[in-house]
């Protein structure tokens, strides 16, 4: 493989992360006072599409930790945007529903989000967006499979690279890979390894 193009791609992904992070801060400054924070807004929009989701389904859909999900739901419930109800078929499960107030705010947030996304991807035409989406999905699937294999190897004590990863990641020390001090399973809850030194939950990080 051409190392130069690989390093260029990694740099470009990193730059996209930084620019989107900055864009997020601008959105926070420009956001209307009656709209919730971004993480809360994402959950509201999700419920707008799939009202009555269980806590487990929300965690999986947003790819966040259960503790983060509980915090999000608690804040939205306190604001009067959602309510929780015990599942009639399984009393161990509770479902989250939008209130009328929450549905109105969720729609406002969805409209605002749509405008922002149109601006972010404006330089690309429809075909280019489809191509980019397909390529990114291919990377995501591969990285998740590799991450799952790394965690399996850790459980069974299989030998691997310097930071508990395949040998192509030898250039990163243990601290960068999430297995160093303060980043192991006992510190991070789920103990997810960091991918390419950009954080344990991919390029975007947790949404709270």
Termini Cα distance of the chain: 38
Dihedral, 164, 150, 60, 90 alpha carbons, nearest 10: -110
* Strand ranges inside the chain, DSSP E: 53-54, 82-86, 94-98
Phi, psi of 97 (to 5 degrees): -125, 145
- What does the pLDDT look like over 129-179, one tens digit per residue? 999 999 999 999 998 899 888 888 777 766 555 444 444 443 444 344 444
For residue 191, pLDDT over 80 is answered with no
Domain residue ranges in the chain? 1-30, 36-120, 126-188
Q: What is the pLDDT of residue 66?
A: 93
Q: Which CATH number fits the domain 36-120, given the four candidates 3.10.105.10, 3.40.50.720, 3.30.70.2190, 1.10.10.10?
A: 1.10.10.10
Q: What is the pLDDT of residue 123?
A: 92
Within 8 A by CB and 6+ apart from 125, the residues are none
Paired with 96 in beta bridges are 53, 84
Name the pLDDT band for 61 (thresholds 50, 70, 90): very high
- What does the pLDDT look like over 75-119, one tens digit per residue? 999 999 999 999 888 888 999 999 999 999 999 888 887 888 888
Residue labelled with tokens 């992360």 = 17
How far apart CA 102 and CA 67 sit, in angstroms, is 22
How far apart CA 72 and CA 44 sit, in angstroms, is 10
Side-chain-facing half-sphere of 89: CA atoms under 13 Å: 2
For residue 125, pLDDT over 90 is answered with yes
- Greatest Cα-to-Cα distance within the chain, rounded to the nearest angstrom: 57
Q: What is the pLDDT of residue 160?
A: 52
Name the pLDDT band for 37 (thresholds 50, 70, 90): confident
Contact present, 132 and 124 (Cβ < 8 Å):
yes
Structure tokens at 187: 């510190």
């Amino acid at each position: 493989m051409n190392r130069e193009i690989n390093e260029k791609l990694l740099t470009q992904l990193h730059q996209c992360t930084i620019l989107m992070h900055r864009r997020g801060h601008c959105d926070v400054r420009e956001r209307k006072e009656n709209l919730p924070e971004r993480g809360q807004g994402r959950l509201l929009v999700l419920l707008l599409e799939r009202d009555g989701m269980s806590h487990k389904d929300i965690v999986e859909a947003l790819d966040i930790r259960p503790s983060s999900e509980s915090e999000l739901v608690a804040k939205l419930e306190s604001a009067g945007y959602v309510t929780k109800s015990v599942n009639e078929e399984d009393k161990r499960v509770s479902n989250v529903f939008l209130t009328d107030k929450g549905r109105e705010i969720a729609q406002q947030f969805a409209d605002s989000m749509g405008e922002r996304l149109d601006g972010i991807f404006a330089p690309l035409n429809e075909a280019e967006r489809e191509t980019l989406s397909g390529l990114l999905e291919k990377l995501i699937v591969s990285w998740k499979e590799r991450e799952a294999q790394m965690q399996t190897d850790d459980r069974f004590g299989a030998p691997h690279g310097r930071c508990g990863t395949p040998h192509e990641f030898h250039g990163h020390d243990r601290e960068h890979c999430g297995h160093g001090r303060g980043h192991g399973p006992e510190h991070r809850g789920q103990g997810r390894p960091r991918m390419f030194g950009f954080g344990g939950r991919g390029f975007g990080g947790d949404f709270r």
